[in-house]
Copies of this chain bind each other. A is one copy, B any other.
Amino acid sequence: MQYLEDLEVGTETYFGSYEVTREEVLEFAGKYDPQPFHLDDDAAAATHFGRIAASGWHTAAMVMAVIARNVVAKGQAGLGSPGIDELRWLKPVYPGDTLHVRGTIIDKRESRSKPDIGIFRTKTTVTNQDDVPVMTFISNVLTRRRPAAD
Q: How far is the CB of A21 from chain B (nearest CB, A)?
A: 13
Q: How far is the CB of A145 from chain B (nearest CB, A)?
A: 14
Q: How far is the CB of A58 from chain B (nearest CB, A)?
A: 8
Protomer copies: 2
**Known pairs A32-B64, A57-B61; A87 contacts B84 (CB<8 A):** yes
Residues on B with beta carbons closer than 8 Å to the beta carbon of A90:
82
A68 in contact with B32 (CB, 8 Å)? yes
B80 in contact with A37 (CB, 8 Å)? yes
Q: How far is the CB of A2 from chain B (nearest CB, A)?
A: 13
At the interface, is chain A mostly helix, strand, loop or mixed?
Answer: mixed
Asked if A85 is an interface residue, CB under 8 A from chain B, the answer is yes
Residues of A within 8 A of B (CB): 28, 31-37, 47-49, 53, 55-58, 60-62, 64-65, 68-69, 71-72, 78-90
The contact of A83 among B33, B36, B65, B88, by CB within 8 Å, is: B88
Q: List 25 A-B contacts (CB under 8 A).
A: A31-B61, A32-B61, A33-B61, A34-B68, A35-B71, A35-B72, A35-B78, A35-B80, A37-B80, A47-B79, A47-B80, A48-B79, A53-B80, A55-B64, A56-B81, A57-B60, A60-B60, A82-B88, A82-B90, A83-B86, A83-B88, A83-B89, A84-B84, A84-B87, A85-B85
